[in-house]
């Protein structure tokens, strides 16, 4: 967890720098839940961090933790019939990428408080959630949130691009997380929090 805490600090600093360079183009704020609707893949490192965050929430605010756990289990049940992966482990099937693209796009993240629009495990959120908003580069090019950078020029978008020098560190830590959990591959938030069978004791 010490190494993951260091990674989180680096990622958050890089995102804050990109947000500063984004200026008023960045529309992210509390209550904007655009990026919280629709299922997305997370790593085993993300899943481990979420479970640690959940354990901490259970100690500090059992009622909130119970609500998150209930939403996660309800989400898992709703998604199970068409889940493109292993229901026992929650691991996504890499060969079913096309199926996942159109899977549960209207499903809210179970960690999202439906009343306040706040993330109940904000400090433990996955990397994808941490970097969403500023321009980010992938194999498909530069991507931005559809609510941000509306009307911005390509130059303005590129000037705010997120620095992802931390990616190799994340990959290395994820390998260790997979070995620790004995689960290899990506999963989703609902399964990471609701499917506890077989997980190592934290």
Predicted local distance difference test score (pLDDT) of residue 195 = 58
Predicted local distance difference test score (pLDDT) of residue 9 = 98
Predicted local distance difference test score (pLDDT) of residue 30 = 87
Predicted local distance difference test score (pLDDT) of residue 18 = 97
Question: From residue 42, how far is each of 15, 63, 64, 151 by CA, in Å?
Answer: 18, 25, 22, 31
Q: Which residues of the chain fall below pLDDT 50? A: 198, 201-202
Query: Beta-strand (E) ranges in 87-201?
Result: 136-138, 141-143
Predicted local distance difference test score (pLDDT) of residue 73 = 95
> Could you read off the pLDDT of 120-158 as tens digits, one per residue?
999 999 999 999 999 999 888 999 888 999 999 999 999
Query: Is there a domain that residue 113 lies in?
Result: yes
Query: Is there a domain that residue 176 lies in?
Result: yes
Largest CA distance in the chain: 49
Query: Is there a domain that residue 56 lies in?
Result: yes
Domain count across the chain: 1
Query: Is there a domain that residue 201 lies in?
Result: no
Query: Is there a domain that residue 200 lies in?
Result: no
Predicted local distance difference test score (pLDDT) of residue 139 = 86
Contact between 193 and 51 under an 8 Å Cβ cutoff? The reply is yes
Radius of gyration, CA atoms only, the chain: 17
Predicted local distance difference test score (pLDDT) of residue 202 = 46
> Could you read off the pLDDT of 68-83 as tens digits, one per residue?
999 999 999 999 999 9
Query: Is there a domain that residue 110 lies in?
Result: yes
**Where in the sequence is the domain holding 34, given as residue range(s)?**
2-194
Predicted local distance difference test score (pLDDT) of residue 201 = 46
**Nearest-CA neighbor of 161 among 46, 58, 25?**
25
Predicted local distance difference test score (pLDDT) of residue 1 = 82
Query: Is there a domain that residue 168 lies in?
Result: yes
Predicted local distance difference test score (pLDDT) of residue 169 = 98
Predicted local distance difference test score (pLDDT) of residue 97 = 86
Query: Is there a domain that residue 202 lies in?
Result: no
């Amino acid at each position: 967890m010490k190494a993951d805490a260091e990674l989180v600090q680096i990622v958050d600093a890089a995102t804050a720098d990109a947000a500063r360079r984004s200026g008023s183009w960045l529309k992210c704020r509390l209550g904007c839940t655009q990026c919280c609707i629709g299922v997305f893949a997370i790593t085993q490192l993300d899943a481990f961090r979420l479970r640690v965050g959940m354990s901490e929430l259970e100690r500090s605010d059992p009622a909130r933790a119970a609500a998150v756990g209930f939403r996660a289990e309800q989400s898992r049940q709703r998604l199970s019939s068409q889940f493109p992966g292993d229901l026992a482990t929650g691991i996504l099937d890499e060969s079913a990428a096309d199926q996942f693209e159109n899977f549960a796009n209207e499903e809210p993240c179970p960690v999202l408080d439906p009343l306040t629009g706040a993330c109940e495990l904000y400090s433990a959120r996955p990397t994808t959630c941490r970097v969403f908003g500023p321009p980010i580069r992938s194999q498909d090019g530069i991507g931005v949130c559809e609510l941000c950078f509306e009307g911005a020029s390509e130059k303005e978008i590129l000037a705010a691009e997120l620095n992802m020098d931390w990616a190799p560190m994340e990959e290395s830590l994820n390998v260790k997380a997979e070995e620790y959990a004995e689960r290899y591959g990506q999963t989703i938030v609902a399964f990471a929090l609701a499917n506890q069978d077989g997980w190592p004791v934290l």
